[in-house]
Amino acid sequence: MNLEIILFIVFGGIAAVSSVLMITRSNPVISALFLVLNFASLAGLYLLLHAQFIAVAQVIVYAGAIMVLFLFVIMLLKPEHDKLFSTYPQIKKFAVVIGVLIFIQLVYMIFITKPSSAENPSLQASIKAGTIEQIGLELYSNYILPFEAAGYLLLVATIGALVLAKKKFE
Amino acid sequence: MNIPIEYYLVLSAFMFIVGVTGVLTRRNAIIVFMSIELMLNSANLTLVAFSSYLGNSVGQLFVFFVMTVAAAEAAVGLAIIIAIFRNKLTMNIDEINILKW
């Protein structure tokens, strides 16, 4: 048991448990706070995978900006405690059965194909791939067009959100 | 690099399934949105794990783009929820059925 495995168990356990707690709480605010915990532990996992830039972006963009937006909307609208699940009770049973079946199928597929046998991970290459220098180099050379498209997407989303949420003047 | 990549993939699959179950069972529109964010994050974990184990930074670049799309989706989706709430005073997606016939 070295430190890497212990950290993986801690962060992975927090991520798994908080994701389950997120979909079972009746209060949406508690649910959103569990999702923040899940994102924070995912940032820890990214650091464990030597992805420094993505870990920082995860904390700033997801756990910071997006979740603040969610909490803001939850608190702006009336929180509903009344109905936790659907009015059709068989949907819940159906969803759990389907979820367990697909999870078993995915785990079977992961362990039957054994992706770890095909690659030989090198620590140096992994650390180099996670630096912001390497990501920026890719972003501004080979992926400059998707980068521009992402900028336009954010502009369109801003305008769309304003148009959708603004008060209608009759 | 002592951990086999399968562990990360299984964790990611588990989080994805939890997200799917949340979308199918929960009826609060905001919780459904948060479950979708959870599914996007599990896909991100897979991308980062493969990127790190292969020593190639393109996977992390795609995580960056997924984050951009998730931010845009959250902004537009929450604006739609606010607009629907203003008209129908509910967030329960069983009661929002104006597109059904």
Indicate whether B101 belongs to any domain.
no
Query: How many beta carbons lie within 10 A of that of residue B23, not counting itself?
Result: 19
Question: What's the mean pLDDT in B61-65?
Answer: 93
Confidence of residue A33 (pLDDT cuts 50, 70, 90): very high
Count: domains in chain B: 1
- For B32, the domain range is 5-88
Question: How many contacts, defined by CB atoms under 8 Å, are there between A and B?
Answer: 243
Cα→Cα distances A68→A18, A64, A75, A145, B96, Å? 18, 6, 10, 30, 25
- pLDDT exceeds 60 at position A81: no
- Cβ of A35 and B3 within 8 Å? no
- Cβ of A57 and B26 within 8 Å? no
Indicate whether B34 belongs to any domain.
yes
Question: What's the mean pLDDT in A10-38?
Answer: 93
Angle (CA) A48 A52 A54, round 5°: 100
| Mean pLDDT score of chain A | 88
Question: What is the per-residue pLDDT for A164?
Answer: 86
- Cβ of B56 and A2 within 8 Å? no
Q: Which residues of A touch B8 (CB under 8 A)?
A: 45, 49
pTM of the model: 0.91
Q: Which residues of B touch A42 (CB under 8 A)?
A: 41, 44-45
Indicate whether B97 belongs to any domain.
no
Indicate whether B99 belongs to any domain.
no
Give the 3-state secondary structure of residue B35.
Answer: helix
Q: Report d(CA A108, CA A123) in Å as an integer.
A: 28
We report the CATH number of the domain holding residue B32 as: 1.10.287.3510
**DSSP label of A121:** -
- pLDDT exceeds 80 at position B1: no
Q: Is A52 on the interface with B (CB under 8 A)?
A: no
Supply the DSSP string of A40-71, one letter for each residue.
HHHHHHHHHTT-HHHHHHIIIIIIIIIHHHHH
Q: Return the structure tokens found at A84.
A: 């936790």
Interface test with B, best of A47, A56, A66, A131 (most B CBs within 10 A): A66
Indicate whether B50 belongs to any domain.
yes
Confidence of residue A82 (pLDDT cuts 50, 70, 90): low
Widest pairwise Cα distance in chain A: 67
Indicate whether B19 belongs to any domain.
yes
Indicate whether B13 belongs to any domain.
yes
Confidence of residue A170 (pLDDT cuts 50, 70, 90): low
Q: Is A101 on the interface with B (CB under 8 A)?
A: no
Indicate whether B95 belongs to any domain.
no
